[in-house]
Amino acid sequence: MMSRRHAFFISDRTGLTSESMGEALLDQFQEVKFKRSTYPFVDTPDKARAMVKIIETAANQTAMRPLVFSSIINEEIRDIIRNSPGLHLSFFDAFLGILEKELGTKARNEVGRNHGISDTARYDARMEAVNFTLNHDDGVSDKDLKDADVILMGVSRSGKTPTCLYLALQYGIRAANYPLTPDDLDKPDLPPMVKQYRNKIYGLTIKPERLADIREERRPNSNYASISTCKQEVADAQAMFRRFDIPFTNTTHKSVEELAASIMQACGLKRRF
CB of 29 to a second copy, least distance (A): 6
Residue 110 or 245: the one with the smaller Cβ distance to a second copy is 110
Question: If binding is defined by CB under 8 A, does position 235 make contact with a second copy?
Answer: no
- Written as one string, the DSSP assignment of the chain is --SPEEEEEEESS-SHHHHHHHHHHHTT-TTS-EEEEEE----SHHHHHHHHHHHHHHHHHHSSPPEEEEE---HHHHHHHHTSSSEEEEHHHHHHHHHHHHHTS------S---SHHHHHHHHHHHHHHHHHHHTGGG---TTGGG-SEEEEEETTSSHHHHHHHHHHHH---EEEEEE-HHHHHSSSPPHHHHTTGGGEEEEE--HHHHHHHHHHHSTT-TTTSHHHHHHHHHHHHHHHHHTT--EEE-TT--HHHHHHHHHHHTT-----
Residue 154 marked ligand-binding:
yes
Q: Which of 24, 50, 121, 140 touches a second copy (CB under 8 A)?
A: 24
265 contributes a contact to a second copy by CB under 8 A: yes
Number of residues in contact with a second copy, rule: CB under 8 A? 70
CB of 249 to a second copy, least distance (A): 12
86 assigned binding-site residue: no
Among 3, 45, 46, 87, binds a second copy (CB under 8 A): 87
Quote the least distance from Cβ 75 to a second copy, whole Å: 11
Find the binder of a second copy among 49, 122, 231, 272 (CB under 8 A). 122
Of residues 182 through 221, those in contact with a second copy by CB under 8 A are 210, 214
Residues of the shown chain interacting with a second copy in the complex, contacts defined by CB under 8 A:
5, 13-17, 20-21, 24-25, 27-32, 38, 40-41, 65, 67, 71, 73, 87, 89, 91-92, 94-96, 98-99, 102-103, 105, 107-110, 113-115, 119-120, 122-123, 126-127, 130, 134, 137, 161-162, 165-166, 169-170, 210, 214, 253, 255-258, 260-262, 264-265, 271
